[in-house]
Amino acid sequence: MRAIFIGQNAIAPPVGIEPTTYGLEVRRSIHLSYGSNLLTQIYPHPNYRLSVRSRLLVLFAAFCFATTGTSRALGPDSATSLGVAAVRFIVGATALFAITALIRKPHVTTATLPLYIWIIAGFGQAMYGATFFAAVHETGVAVGTVVALGSAPILTGMLSVVLFRSRPSRSWMLATSVAIGGMALIVLSGSEATVSITGTIYALGAGLGYAFFALASKRIVASGVPSDIAMSRVFALSAIMLAPTLFFVNTDWIFTQGGISLTLWLGIVTVALAYWAYASGLIHLEPRETTMITLAEPVVATILGAVVLNERPEVLAWLGIVIVIAALAYEARSTSSNMKH
């Protein structure tokens, strides 16, 4: 199993697997792909306006990612989690391919990787999408999003230890312990109507799916495949894997006004535009800046759940949410400091 991610002759992960905040495994690889030495030479000292623009792009991406759960909750009631995930990936992959075709030079070549690496990445993203939407439906945006975001780095770290024999850092172990405690508080409040044990389990499944996606995608991008091409292919595979489910679930909602709006928003905004903006902004920012900016994602998702959807988790659940976000912030800061040095 270890060889699946690191290759037959590899001794260690190609870039260095370090459990971090949600999405940072792949997004850090995107940083490595876009922020090459050549770009560093071209832009050694970005001016103030360029730096502000880059921060705004990354912040815009975080806001796009954060709207995923809320937009799903505002969509048609007849929509199923599998159906929503499938159409999101279909539209998102199509839009990503379109963006890639517009900005990518035709003579660019990509590395060759075993097919199973791509399949694992696509499966992980498909698993994440389906279970995340189920979690949001069952237990709400605030709780579902924070548990998924909080469990992803924990599960990624555990897989890293098993697959790569990597020794977790003290900061990661501390952040993980705190995050587990926060999620335990959320689960303990499950007797309340606003928190569902089933939804929490779905959210943990989303975290596991993202862990597989992150590890496999990191291998893909580290091999030299440009991140825009990599993400286009991975989301296309996820769409292919989930597309057959549309034959077994209700799809009438897709052709309604609300269904069309939901489909376009999830595919174009939360997939295509979000990944494009993130990758574009990363070129001129240091990792420590981007990791902290992307922490806006769970914060914004929680606020949207409370303000837009009028979600009112009990005090114990809110305390757990705050603890998980604090743990993510601590680990992001620690990991970014290590990368800087």
Q: Among candidates 34, 83, 71, 120, which has minimal Cα distance to 271?
A: 71
Which two three-digit tokens encode residue 310? 């009028």
In whole angstroms, give the CA distance from residue 59 to residue 82. 28
- Domain-located, residue 118: yes
- Domain-located, residue 97: yes
Using the 8-state DSSP alphabet, how is residue 294 labeled? Answer: T
Count of residues for the chain?
341
Q: What is the pTM of this model?
A: 0.77
Which two three-digit tokens encode residue 158? 């555990």
Rounded CA Rg of the chain = 19
Placement of tokens 């988790």 in the chain: 313
Predicted confidence at residue 127, as pLDDT, reads 96
User: How many domains, the chain?
Assistant: 1
3-state SS class at 110: coil
* CB burial readout 40-65, b (16+ within 10 A) else e: eeeeeeeeeeeeeebbebbbbbbbbb
3-state SS class at 195: coil
- Domain-located, residue 142: yes
- Domain-located, residue 74: yes
User: What stretches of the chain show up as alpha helix (H) in DSSP?
Assistant: 2-6, 24-34, 37-42, 48-74, 81-103, 115-139, 141-164, 170-188, 197-222, 227-242, 257-264, 274-282, 287-293, 296-307, 315-340
- Domain-located, residue 14: no
In whole angstroms, give the CA distance from residue 161 to residue 139. 31
Placement of tokens 């574009």 in the chain: 280
- Domain-located, residue 9: no
- Domain-located, residue 5: no
Which two three-digit tokens encode residue 18? 């370090």
Using the 8-state DSSP alphabet, how is residue 84 labeled? Answer: H
Average pLDDT per block of 10 residues along the chain, 341 residues long? 51 33 46 42 55 85 92 92 95 92 66 87 94 91 85 83 75 81 75 72 93 86 80 93 94 94 96 85 66 75 85 80 82 59 45
Predicted confidence at residue 18, as pLDDT, reads 34
- Domain-located, residue 307: yes
In whole angstroms, give the CA distance from residue 156 to residue 288. 20
Placement of tokens 């420590």 in the chain: 288
Range of the domain at 107: 56-340
